[in-house]
Structure 1
Amino acid sequence: MASAAAVVQVISFVTVYSEFARKKDSDATDKLAVANSLFSMVGGTLAAVQGIAITSLSVAIDNYASASGKIKLAAKLGRITGVLSPFVYLFSTLAAGTSLYGEKGSAAKWTEALRSGNGAKLAGASMTLVGDSGQLAVNGWATARSVQYTYEALANVNQARALAWVTTGGKLLSVAARANLIGLVLTGLQLGGEWLYNRNNKTELDKWLQQGAWGKRNANRNMAEERLLLADITATPQMALQQVKSQSMAVLYLPGVTASELDEVGFGLSAYWLTNHQRNDWEAWSEPLLYQLTLLSAPDAPSN
């Protein structure tokens, strides 16, 4: 299972990095996605290597008749797990941390779902958040325990080094068993939450497709109605908070309209600042806003 998961994570990393390399303007979110995929791939690959080593050496130990041979292989198993375990859990901790935070992380999804008021969407986001938080805690604990037990084996001068590694190997296998069992449950939460969140996180375009002539919930609209609804969806101005060149900006999208066309029709923006929440007093803020506007697209390209 660990080997299959490692293969999937390698393929995922190649896909994510290829998309990142093709982007001309990458932001912090794109870099975080690459980092998350990299940490997951490294952690998964090391876990697969460790799993193969544990399985093969455990079988060899069972097949040995002499006690000295069993101790020698058990010590080898302890050294291998001592070297690999801290890195396995460290990279898994980093992967869980990068899944939790960021603009597209589970914490941001939970906040967005809470604002939307969609109960099913919030339930899915909550499951994913609990899963990611749990993975962060479990792998952090496993990292600390692995480092502790490995250090104790290296620093042990009162016991034969082989016996010290045998003892350490047993402790590390116990940590791995508990971390893997809890991790399996948390992975189920993550996958189930992601499925529930995506199922209920439908955009207006998704809803239009579902209710179209080719959708599962055909609304039996005529062609003129379909085209009008599609135009309303695709041409609706949108505003979002984004990181642009390491700066937080409120980005206004005007699909299908160029800056030159906006100038021709005398398009303008008015802004007001809430100065008193209790009295609901507002103050004109259009002029300060004017000096902070930045055109992110070319004059003859759709504006944002």
Structure 2
Amino acid sequence: MDKALNVAVIGTGYWGTKLVREYLAASEEREDINLKTIYDVDFNRLKTLAKELSLPESMLTTSYEDILDRDDINAVHIATPNETHYELAIRAINAHKHIVLEKPMALSSRRAFRLVREAEKNNVILLVDHIFRFNNALKVTKELLERGEFGNLYYMTLKWSAYLEPPKNRDIIFDLAPHPIDIVNYLTEEWPARVYGNGKSYIRGKAGLEEMAFIIAELPDDVLVNIELSWIDYGKKTRAVNIVTEKGTLVIDTLAQTVKIYSDSQEGEIPVIPNNTIRDMIYHFADRVLNNEPPLNSATVGAMTVFVLEKIRESLETGQTVEIFKG
């Protein structure tokens, strides 16, 4: 059994840099968490980050193979471009490293489910970083829904928008929709029975490079879900979830971590203690590795999310509603 989480962060882009900072902070708080190495293909980027964080150059590497060969590293956190996720993850699994894999875990469901199975066969922890599962506002929301105080769930609206330069060669469905799709599953324990997607490439003018999209999903029991995605909305960055039920409406701001309730009998804010979701994810990963237990957010959920994303893209490309399952 592993006595410590000795991790290498793979990729030092925007998110990878945040992860490096969080792993360093975690290592100061817990003796059983250690950031061993930082990997990137661009050594100049590594040196810039090391200088900024006062890290020794010995912690830097441009060789992924060296990381996989090292006995003193038992885990990797992969935060590289989406198209590299599968190759890096399957190599780590074959090297018997535990893995946190950023979303989407792969660009096809076949490859995503392959990662799940190979991780099982090699007895390694594979945690897909659906970070909002660690968000306290959503945890409180899930508890409220599970208590049944609001009666039947009618519909949900999720808005994931911001104004930014569209990421190069990125598909907004695979890049931005994984979180909303996963949140819906987290809150309802259900997957869409059918989906419809539509989107436009206003800036780049190319199919497959849409900068905005609307998604409608139908869950079992006639629960409807509407998701809005945008990289071209000039308003403030929004990560919002609105839930309309039989007895009231819940309004969740996942960034501010607030939950508001509107009903006939009450109107107000539910107390939520905001948390550092990245830190809590790191702690959860470490605990699962040290105790050799599967993560709460199963890798199968990550693979199913990719499967749903494929169906949304199919709908967008055909203009038709796509059925995912019956019954």
TM-score tier by shorter-chain length is under 0.3
TM-score by length of 1: 0.24
Q: Which has the higher contact order (CA 8 A, sep 6+)?
A: 2
The structure where helix makes up a greater share of residues is: 1
TM-score by length of 2: 0.23
